[in-house]
Amino acid sequence: MMEFLFLDLDDTILDFHKAERIALSKTLRDFGVEPTEEVLALYHKINLWHWEQLEKGKLTRDEVQVGRFAALFRELGVSADAVRCTRSYEGNLAVGHYFLPGAEEAVASLSQKYRLFLASNGTASVQAGRLTSANLYRFFETVFAANLPIAISVKTRLGLREEDEFPRILAIYNRYPISELTIHPRVMRQLYRGQADREAFAAALPQCKPPVCYNGDITTTGQLHALEAEFPTLSGIMIGRGIIADPALFRKALGGPAATKAELRGYLDDLYHGYTELFGSAGCAISRMKGHWFYLIHCFADSEKLEKQLKKLREPWEYETVVNQIFTLPLI
């Protein structure tokens, strides 16, 4: 069951083109330029070129916002301050709002069924003004906009049902200033069945604009080093189940030793007591710990009998007794 929805703001909920035309026209008049259709068309051409340079990493966001007006004034032979014009334009754009038909009602309805989040590549201060004017904050738990003092990363699969969904999903990710995109090359309906599709990942990698982190089926140092060799441009490698099964995996990959019994015992005891404190119940903690032991039990030799007992137990004294017995076994 889907619980969360992320929505865009411009041209999804609010009519950006209308707001842009009104704000741009007012700004240009204030700086002595009549906003004729020819002038507006020239601005849009210049603006598009600047945003394309941003996507290629050749310009910063600030350079886009000021540079488009500087270029427009040069083309028109107008002597005007592009920095002041940028500030004026953003101030005008932040005032008022224009809903797309049916959008307000749709958002209100969705907020009754899902937890809503808003993601926008618009300037944070501008979007804040428009959201306030439209009274939209009440529908969203969090708003993510450009120029926020945080980095936003995304973890994704290749699709819900089929891998061929990913190009359309990636096109959306590529529109936003994501700091890192972590890709697990399975589709959602697979859960963890089958193998992570390394070929599909390799095919998608060149199309990704954000830095890419790999995730999926890395359980040994050999697999980790092979992945680094195959994809040297990766920004990172994320390991989930593999690090639960071998908490020292990264240390071993760097040439360090495997985890000792004492380290594993301290790690698992900290988890158990932490879960107990967090949930206020040892029973809930035991349920969580069984998930960790599902992977870790295989670090111990001849553990099959105790593994069966671990799956069935419910009481704290049973858990603690079985864990004590497990740690009498030799590590593999």
pLDDT tens per residue across span 5-49:
999 999 999 999 999 999 999 999 999 999 999 999 999 999 999
pLDDT at 252 over 80: yes
Q: Of 70, 93, 116, which one is at a domain's C-terminal end?
A: 93
178 and 266 both lie in a single domain: no
pTM above 0.85, yes or no: no
Selecting among 8, 10, 15, 30, the annotated active-site residue is 8
The answer to whether position 278 is within a domain reads: yes
pLDDT at 285 over 80: yes
237 and 265 both lie in a single domain: no
What is the structure's pLDDT at 149? 59
Provide mean pLDDT across the span 238-248.
Answer: 95
267 and 248 both lie in a single domain: no
Provide mean pLDDT across the span 220-224.
Answer: 96
70 and 159 both lie in a single domain: no
Q: What is the CATH number of the domain that holds 57?
A: 1.10.150.240
Q: Of 253, 288, 303, which one is at a domain's C-terminal end?
A: 253
What is the structure's pLDDT at 181? 96
Given pLDDT bands bounded at 50, 70 and 90, which one contains residue 148? low
> Could you give the dihedral angle defined by the CA atoms of residues 20, 23, 26 and 27, in that order, rounded to the nearest 10 degrees?
-100
The answer to whether position 129 is within a domain reads: no
Given pLDDT bands bounded at 50, 70 and 90, which one contains residue 128? confident
User: How many structural domains compose the chain?
Assistant: 3
β-partners of residue 10 are: 14
Active site residue 11: no
The answer to whether position 109 is within a domain reads: no
Domain assignment of residue 320, given as a range: 261-326
Q: Which one is predicted more confidently, 309 or 147?
A: 309
What is the structure's pLDDT at 146? 67
Average of per-residue pLDDT values in the chain: 92
177 and 237 both lie in a single domain: yes
pLDDT at 116 over 90: yes
Helix axes 37-55, 61-76, angle to 10 degrees: 150
Task: Give the number of residues written for the chain.
Answer: 332
165 and 78 both lie in a single domain: no
Rounded CA separation 146/139 (Å): 20
